[in-house]
């Protein structure tokens, strides 16, 4: 373990690979069983049972669905733009996974005498005695999250279908409308923290036994960011780009087999990412009682918060009807945008005088 590469011990590179695998498997497994959980949760909320026949209480249903989709026939429309049609699912899926590189899912653990931060894009500098991560982590997240919509737009355009094109246009308009409000809503968090580093933002919420969360100081910003994020990732009640009652299946109407599955994987991976970002910015991330003294508690608290927010997303889908498109745009431009700007001004005034 004493071998060094580019000035860093070998253990850091081994830990980096391990963290990448853990983050990837966490997202992948959560994506697989989030589909099952959503069907069961909504089923029970509507006095149904949900999946029951494949495995005990339907636990093997996601595996059966995956096998079925893997072996289904691949269909490419004769008039489609083939290259763009094939690459669109990857463009939608990949940004959802790589966003997790900057999200801290735990504190710092000690391994073979070296301190390892539980964050993919971070390392502990022994000489400086502190953790270094991506100091513009929030900007990285905003950049990656805005890339996913290109896959949806590309799918809608390349399919050469009116339904698909309409879904792609709706997705692009929706992303532009709500990304602005989402970004403005979290500026108040940067004003409180004085940094764009997600690791430092989490550390600043560790007071009062791990309960000094920014949601208590910025409840309006937390609510707006969460709702705007749901609109960005096309979750109910903002699932206008799919809108199966109007557009068959929207941008993925012409897709089949695993390419169709990849769009659904992207949707659920984006939901997990949004919940992880919300937990990091407003719910203290991995902070909680004794999380600093007992490092293993950090990831447990983080996963619990993420799963709670995922449950909240599913609950919203079960209870809230889809918005009309004019209502969607009205909410984004005439309600959330002014509120986000007012919140920034009020936060600045309070910060100046206190």
Q: Which residues contact 242 (CB under 8 A, 6 or more apart)?
A: 167, 234, 249, 250, 251, 252
pLDDT (tens digit per residue) in 106-120: 888 877 777 788 888
Residue 35 C-beta-side C-alpha neighbours within 13 Å: 23
pLDDT for res 238: 86
pLDDT (tens digit per residue) in 292-350: 778 888 899 999 999 999 999 999 988 988 888 888 889 989 999 999 999 999 999 88
pTM: 0.88
pLDDT for res 256: 82
Q: What angle do CA 174, 144, 21 make, to 5 degrees?
A: 130
Average pLDDT of the chain, as a whole number: 85
Lowest mean pLDDT among 66-75, 116-125, 134-143, 334-343: 116-125
For residue 5, name the pLDDT band (cuts at 50, 70, 90).
Answer: low
Please determine, for residue 103, whether its predicted confidence score (pLDDT) is greater than 60.
yes
The domain containing residue 34 runs over which residues?
A: 4-353
Can you say whether residue 75 is alpha, beta or left, with left for phi > 0 and alpha for psi between -120 and 50 degrees? Answer: beta
pLDDT for res 120: 85
What are 199's two structure tokens? Answer: 């690791």
Contact 175, 167 (CB under 8 A): no
Tell me: cis bond preceding 28? Omega within 30 of 0 counts: no
pLDDT for res 8: 62
pLDDT (tens digit per residue) in 232-259: 888 888 888 777 777 777 788 888 888 8
The alpha carbon torsion through 329, 170, 318, 288 (nearest 10 deg) reads -80
pLDDT for res 7: 57
pLDDT for res 277: 92
pLDDT for res 325: 84
Contact 132, 123 (CB under 8 A): yes
What are 225's two structure tokens? Answer: 């960011």
Measured between alpha carbons, how far is 93 from 98 in angstroms, rounded to an integer? Answer: 9
Measured between alpha carbons, how far is 93 from 312 in angstroms, rounded to an integer? Answer: 23
- Exposure class string for 251-267: b at 16+ Cβ within 10 A, else e: bbbbbeeebbbbbbbbb
pLDDT for res 107: 81
Q: Which residues contact 305 (CB under 8 A, 6 or more apart)?
A: 275, 279, 283, 284, 285
What are 59's two structure tokens? Answer: 């636990």
Measured between alpha carbons, how far is 264 from 113 in angstroms, rounded to an integer? Answer: 42
What are 301's two structure tokens? Answer: 């608290």
Nearest to 93 by CA among 149, 138, 139: 149
Please determine, for residue 6, whether its predicted confidence score (pLDDT) is greater than 60.
no
100 class by beta-carbon count within 10 Å (0-12 exposed, 13-18 middle, 19+ buried): buried
Measured between alpha carbons, how far is 10 from 28 in angstroms, rounded to an integer? Answer: 27
pLDDT (tens digit per residue) in 8-59: 667 777 888 888 888 888 888 898 889 899 999 999 898 888 888 888 888 8
pLDDT for res 128: 67
Q: Which stretch of DSSP H or E encloses residue 109?
A: strand 108-111
Contact 178, 204 (CB under 8 A): no
pLDDT for res 3: 60
pLDDT for res 262: 86
**Structurally, how many domains does the chain consist of?**
1
What's the longest Cα–Cα distance across the chain? 65
């Amino acid at each position: 373990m004493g071998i060094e590469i580019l000035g860093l011990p070998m253990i850091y590179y081994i830990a980096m690979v391990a963290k990448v695998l853990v983050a990837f498997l966490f997202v992948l497994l959560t994506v697989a069983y989030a589909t099952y959980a959503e069907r069961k949760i909504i089923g029970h909320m509507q006095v149904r049972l949900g999946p029951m026949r494949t495995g005990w209480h339907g636990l093997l249903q996601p595996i059966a669905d995956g096998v079925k989709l893997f072996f289904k026939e691949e269909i490419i429309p004769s008039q489609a733009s083939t290259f763009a049609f094939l690459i669109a699912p990857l463009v939608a899926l990949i940004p959802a996974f790589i966003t997790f590189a900057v999200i801290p899912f735990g504190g710092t653990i000690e391994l073979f005498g070296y301190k390892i931060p539980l964050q993919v894009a971070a390392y502990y500098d022994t000489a400086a005695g502190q953790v270094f991560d991506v100091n513009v982590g929030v900007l990285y997240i905003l950049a990656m999250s805005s890339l996913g919509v290109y896959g949806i737009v590309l799918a809608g355009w390349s399919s050469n279908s009116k339904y698909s094109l309409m879904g792609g246009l709706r997705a692009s308009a929706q992303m532009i409308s709500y990304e602005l409000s989402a970004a403005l809503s979290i500026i108040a968090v940067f004003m409180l923290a004085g940094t764009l580093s997600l690791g430092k933002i989490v550390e600043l919420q560790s007071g009062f036994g791990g309960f000094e969360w920014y949601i208590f100081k910025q409840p309006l910003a937390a609510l707006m960011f969460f709702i705007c994020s749901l609109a960005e990732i096309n979750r109910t009640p903002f699932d206008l780009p799919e809108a199966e009652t109007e557009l068959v299946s929207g941008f993925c109407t012409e897709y089949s087999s695993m390419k169709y599955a990849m769009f659904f994987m992207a949707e659920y991976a984006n939901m997990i990412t949004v919940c992880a970002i919300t937990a990091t910015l407003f719910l203290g991330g991995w902070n909680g009682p004794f999380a600093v003294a007992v490092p293993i508690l950090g990831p447990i608290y983080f996963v619990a918060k993420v799963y709670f927010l995922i449950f909240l997303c599913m609950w919203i889908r079960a209870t809230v009807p889809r918005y009309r498109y004019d209502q969607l745009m009205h909410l984004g431009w005439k309600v959330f945008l002014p509120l986000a700007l007012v919140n920034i001004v009020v936060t600045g005034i309070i910060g100046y005088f206190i």
